[in-house]
Structure 1
Amino acid sequence: MHDWQFLVALAAAMAATGLVSGVLAGLLGVGGGIVIVPVLFYVLPLFQVPEATQMKVAVATSLATIIPTSIISARKHHAKGAMDVGLLRSMAPAMFAGVLLGTALAVVLKGPGLTLVFAVVALLVALNMGFTGVDSRMRDTVPQGAPRHGIAAAIGAVSAMMGIGGGTVGVPVLSLFGVPIRQAVATCSAFGLVISVPATVGFILAGIGAEGRPPFSLGWVNLVGFALIVPSSIIATPWGVRLAHSIPPLLLKRAFALFLAITSSRMLYTLFT
């Protein structure tokens, strides 16, 4: 574990993970967590992290890395005028409450439970994005009042449990309610900040003094992973934003679905074998 060649290789892998997650943060509004969580899930055993705690460390560390990339992505999308600020403001309070609930459930659940949540939700989203057209919708507007608050809370709770920034769930949900795909991506980039900040704080507080954490961890957040992933993510996020405004919407949607399907399949295979 202390061999310099091993550490250099690990640093390079984490930096590459950050580059990919940064591009996806800008491109898809997912905050990169959909990449970071499964990668850390496979990397953490190299640090002798017990199987029971691997997923908690992966989810918590992913949420921490989402904070800076969400700030960059949201600012870029807002500058391009693509974000629905009114929709964001109306959904943020209920989403925050959902994040608190999801974080509480995540710290109570065992590792396999979190893995199952991540894999199943990712697969459902992939099926929706893969088999519906870019203009597919249930209705033309997002519901008002209690239904809107319920949708926001659900997005927050599920995203906190998965260690993602909100776009993985939020983009398809908003699309189903008539929000154009690029506007949905832009708005969900800001969802990432609403979700990642309180969830990260919750995982830090819940993990203080817990057993089975890797070295250099603050609560359940591993600071080594955070330090290596964040800089490369910040560098790559603007690249994804530029791509999001140049790629045909249907191609963007299909690429998102394919990536989620691959990720989910790998997680389920690991869980049941």
Structure 2
Amino acid sequence: MPVAGLNVSELLELAVLLVAVGALAGFLAGVFGIGGGAVLVPVFYECFRLAGVPLEVRMPLCIGTSLAIIIPTSISSFRAHHFRGAVDMAVLRVWAVPVISGVVLGSVIARYAPERLFKIVFVAVAWSAAARLLFGRESWRLGETLPSGFLMKLYGSLVGLLSTLMGVGGGLFSNLLMTFYGRPIHQAVATSSALAVLISIPGALGYIYAGWPAAARFPDIAALQWPFALGYVSLIGAVLVMPTSLLTAPLGVRAAHAMSKRTLERAFGCYLFIVGSRFVISLL
């Protein structure tokens, strides 16, 4: 049956687009340690718009589906970085519980938040990180080493919360924090890939929980514009994107370790500025 009036050729075009995006998301997950969500969310937004998904649920559906896809992608990326010995396990141990706590809070907020909030968070974080990476200098530091105690745990909670509201694996925030405290970008990227595992699994489950009331409000689209969804997670989107993202994540890791520090920072900054601009347009 056609979805929301789309014919077979249009459905095939969407399917091919999602498969291609999966490949790109997996590659960028390896390069930037971002889990691929910053690629997936804007593309899913356009695909679900074409499929007729109501505006009220479109953005959280994009985010929940993105978090579900990040699960295998982030595991693949983390294993590749860990094999190279680039992951800071000490940071990971300190942040584990606060990050998961932030994810739980973000899932609860997602159940009740308006659609615009997700876009605002996406733009604000993406552009802040882009400005730091494109124009920042070595002298722009919050400190010479990462803090300990309450402040470090607070950072972890914010990483989990904002990542859940944005549909990313945490790389945008942890990369920014770690580089502000003098950590090399390659180490920040590798550690972010590990955080993506901690964020994506409870985050996807949280969006399944958050989306049940919305599915009840739109029963007429449950089998059409919103096909085979669990809460705010589209199973069709996940199935089409996951395979190619898994294949290309290790390639991205190789590319990251082959680039210079400044090249990696500039590439990441340009990318964040572009994806943030997409949602600024939709907010106007």
Same fold per TM (> 0.5)? yes
> Structure 1's 250 and 191: CA in aligned 2 closer, same or farther, altered over 3 A?
same
Q: CA deviation at 1:136?
A: 4.7
8 Å Cα contact 2:107/2:210 also seen in 1: no
Q: How does 1:169-248 map to 2 (within 5 A)?
A: 169-208=173-212, 210=215, 211-212=217-218, 214-248=226-260
Q: TM-score, normalised by structure 2?
A: 0.93
Q: TM-score, normalised by structure 1?
A: 0.96
> Structure 1's 134 and 232: CA in aligned 2 closer, same or farther, altered over 3 A?
farther
Q: Does 1:250 align with 2:254?
A: no
8 Å Cα contact 1:134/1:181 also seen in 2: no
**Counterpart Cα distance in 1 of 2:48 and 2:152:** 38
Which residue pairs with 2:45 in the alignment? 41
- Which secondary structure state, in structure 2, belongs to the residue aligned with residue 245 of structure 1? helix
Which residue pairs with 1:139 in the alignment? 143
Which residue pairs with 2:73 in the alignment? 69
Q: Does 1:29 align with 2:41?
A: no
**Counterpart Cα distance in 2 of 1:110 and 1:167:** 24
Structure 1 alignment gaps of length 5 or more: none
Q: Which moved more, 1:141-150 or 1:204-213?
A: 204-213
Q: CA deviation at 1:242?
A: 0.2
Which residue pairs with 1:159 in the alignment? 163
**Counterpart Cα distance in 2 of 1:53 and 1:135:** 42
Q: Which amino acid aligns with 1:270?
A: S
What value does the CA root-mean-square deviation take over the aligned residues? 1.3
Q: Does 1:59 align with 2:55?
A: no
Q: CA offsets per residue over residues 189-217 of structure 1, 9 Å max, x none?
A: 01001111111111112212523461110
Which residue pairs with 1:16 in the alignment? 20
Which residue pairs with 1:4 in the alignment? 8
Q: Which amino acid aligns with 1:194?
A: L
Q: CA offsets per residue over residues 116-135 of structure 1, 9 Å max, x none?
A: 11111111111111111468
8 Å Cα contact 1:203/1:220 also seen in 2: yes
Q: CA deviation at 1:220?
A: 0.8
> Structure 1's 69 and 135: CA in aligned 2 closer, same or farther, altered over 3 A?
farther
How many pairs does the alignment contain? Answer: 272
Q: Which amino acid aligns with 2:110?
A: A
8 Å Cα contact 2:25/2:37 also seen in 1: yes
Identity score, percent: 39
Q: CA offsets per residue over residues 58-84 of structure 1, 9 Å max, x none?
A: 000000000000000000000000001
Which residue pairs with 2:280 in the alignment? 268
